[in-house]
Structure 1
Amino acid sequence: MPDLGAYVVDLRQDRIGRVMGHEGPYVQLRPPGGGLEWDCPPESLRPAGHRDMLRARVTELNRESRLP
């Protein structure tokens, strides 16, 4: 199981998420910069690489720049 706060990639959707918790057999993920959480089985996850992390950070910064 990935650590809380770690970035991972949901291989089913090629979607980056931050680990928010573990619920039963699933890992709860939230998109970079916030949004609705989704559940993913741990076998469908891989650790985020450098390119994934950069993409996630840009998404977070873009979201923050739009906040009042």
Structure 2
Amino acid sequence: MPEENTAADRQEPTQVPFPGTLLVDTGHRDRVGEFRGVSGPYWSLRPVCGGTEWEAEPAKVRVPEPMERLRAETARCNARSAGRIL
């Protein structure tokens, strides 16, 4: 059985990421979103398949694990092929 990453292995972004960077918001049940920009003390994230942006506390945001990234990118590709997003 493969070894899973522990909380100590997870990385938090040290600076403001580039727009479009995938991030995980641990303050919203590990919801994955694309970084859109800074809104006051919060970071704006948007669901990978489109939808309403939400605000996340930078301290509760981390980079996705490989499986989280794969799931998000697959969901985005499926939504695009179904015509739900451009």
Given the two structures, how large is their TM-score scaled by the length of structure 1? 0.89
Residue of structure 2 equivalent to 1:7? 22
CA distance in 2, matches of 1:56, 1:2: 21
* Structure number with larger C-alpha Rg: 2
Aligned equivalent of 1:45, options 57, 61, 66: 61
> Aligned residues, how many?
68
2: distance between equivalents of 1:6 and 1:26? 15
Alignment of 1:49-68 (within 5 A): 49-67=65-83
SS of the residue aligned with 2:79? helix
Residue 20 of structure 1: aligned partner: 36
Listed one character per residue, the Cα deviations across residues 6-60 of structure 1 (whole Å, up to 9, x for unaligned) are 1110102210001000010000000112111000010110111211110111110
TM-score, length basis structure 2: 0.72
* Structure 1 residue ranges (4+ consecutive) displaced by more than 6 angstroms after TM superposition: none
Give the whole-Å Cα distance in 2 for the aligned partners of 1:23 and 1:39.
8
Identity %: 35
